[in-house]
Amino acid sequence: MNRFDYHRPASIAEAVAAGATDGAVYLGAGTNLLDLMKGGVTRPVQLVDLTKLPGLDGIETLANGDVRIGALVRNSTLAFDARFARRFPAVAEALLSGASPQLRNAATVGGNLLQRTRCAYFYDTASACNRRVPGSGCDAIGGENRMHAVLGWSEQCIATHPSDFCVPLVALGAIVEIEGLDGRRDVPLADLHRLPGDTPAVETVLAPGDLIVAVRLPAEAQAFAAHQRYIKVRERTSYAFAVVSAAAALDIADGRIVSGRLAFGGLAAKPWRAAEAEALLAGGAPERATFERAAAAALVDARASGDNAFKIDLARRIAVRALIRAAAGTPDRLPPLPASPFAAAAGEIDHD
């Protein structure tokens, strides 16, 4: 690990000024950053510690009904907030399916959005990786790539974004609040992460110094609370990143789908919202045939990037299963194995 300076700002403005300097990196819980530093993948010149900044650790309902989550709220704190879980159950389910209890107790909302890919070639500094060293190549193309992207990838990078949390957030239209050198602005979460194209090292739309201060879920997203699920297929149910995941949310009235939301994880360099599928869900009957048509539309542009063709069919099946579970209704209590396709649902969602 290289030598670095450490700075603990007393205000958001001071943090942004420090974060805008060359080689500066923001530090929250560090659950991803410290691993990257130890492996020599990331070599910051200065760490800007955000953990003592005031006003970033609250969960509040705004006057317009939006729910605002501070960037320093812990993953476990949000997942076990009973009121939040009732309004956005798929988000709670996704959070509880990620990492281990110890990591969830440390990891922050803001950090979760910005975690880096878990591509093995990105972590191996002896391998070529355009995301880590622009222009060096991509050893994942032609390498061991069964876990890699089938949507939105390019010849420069086939890595995927690892977050569970982001998948239901993007399905529900979450907004990211960003403080920068030019003041505060809002960015839809769907637009925060960039697809690799020719510049995979540019992973987000954030400018130097930009700091995520909060995530907002719009009031209208609560219309999906009664029919909302997240499903995650992973190689170890206890603790692993998604091979494929899907978040489904339905607004059902008089036996028809008023509107639907569908998003995927594990398929692209960003959480992937399936707008084509959502258009087919609207007005349809909440039944398997409708869900199969929507799932097929969601994956129509998918293409294998090597040994991962199986992910396309798997994603279709998981989308259908997530939609069927959502149509059946949000369970009163999160299942013992949150988001597992093998878990049975029972009890109440208050986490008590």
Q: Hey, what long-range contacts does 83-87 have (CB within 8 A, 24 or more apart)?
A: 84/59, 85/334, 85/349, 85/350, 85/351, 86/225, 86/349, 86/350, 87/217, 87/222, 87/225
Under the banding of pLDDT at 50, 70 and 90, the label for residue 140 is very high
- Six token digits for residue 236: 């170890």
Listed in sequence order, the residues at least 6 apart from 93 whose beta carbon sits closer than 8 Å to its beta carbon are: 168, 229, 230, 334, 338, 339
Instruction: Average the pLDDT over 158-179 and give the result.
Output: 98
Q: Identify whether 12 is part of a domain.
A: yes
Bridge partners, residue 148, by sequence: none
Q: Identify whether 315 is part of a domain.
A: yes
* Strand-strand pairing, 272-273 and 256-265: antiparallel
Q: Identify whether 157 is part of a domain.
A: no
Whether the pLDDT of residue 5 is over 60: the answer is yes
Q: Identify whether 254 is part of a domain.
A: yes
pLDDT tens readout for residues 64-97: 999 999 999 999 999 999 999 999 999 999 999 9
Listed in sequence order, the residues at least 6 apart from 254 whose beta carbon sits closer than 8 Å to its beta carbon are: none
Range of the domain at 36: 5-50
The CATH number given to whatever domain includes residue 311 is 3.30.390.50
Whether the pLDDT of residue 144 is over 50: the answer is yes
Residue position matching structure tokens 């130097």: 208
Whether the pLDDT of residue 208 is over 70: the answer is yes
* Number of separate domains in the chain: 2
Element containing residue 273 per DSSP (H, E): strand 272-273
Q: Identify whether 25 is part of a domain.
A: yes
What is residue 1's predicted lDDT score, i.e. its pLDDT?
Answer: 77
User: Quick one: which of 327, 322, 323, 326 has its CA closest to 341?
Assistant: 322
Listed in sequence order, the residues at least 6 apart from 164 whose beta carbon sits closer than 8 Å to its beta carbon are: 94, 95, 97, 98, 230, 232, 242, 245, 265, 339
d(CA 263, CA 108): 22
What strands, in cross-sheet order, belong to the sheet with 59-61? 59-61, 67-70, 211-217, 175-180, 183-188
Please report, in angstroms and rounded to a whole number, the separation of the first and last CA atoms in the chain.
43
The CATH number given to whatever domain includes residue 22 is 3.30.43.10
What is residue 90's predicted lDDT score, i.e. its pLDDT?
Answer: 98
- Six token digits for residue 1: 């690990």
Instruction: Average the pLDDT over 277-293 and give the result.
Output: 98
Whether the pLDDT of residue 250 is over 70: the answer is yes
Whether the pLDDT of residue 345 is over 80: the answer is no
CA angle 189, 190, 192 (to 5 degrees): 60
Q: Identify whether 283 is part of a domain.
A: yes
Q: Identify whether 258 is part of a domain.
A: yes
Listed in sequence order, the residues at least 6 apart from 209 whose beta carbon sits closer than 8 Å to its beta carbon are: 16, 17, 19, 20, 180, 181
Min mean pLDDT across 110-124, 229-243, 263-277, 338-352 is at 338-352
Whether the pLDDT of residue 350 is over 70: the answer is no
SS3 219: helix
Listed in sequence order, the residues at least 6 apart from 313 whose beta carbon sits closer than 8 Å to its beta carbon are: none
What is residue 61's predicted lDDT score, i.e. its pLDDT?
Answer: 98
What is residue 336's predicted lDDT score, i.e. its pLDDT?
Answer: 82
Q: Identify whether 42 is part of a domain.
A: yes
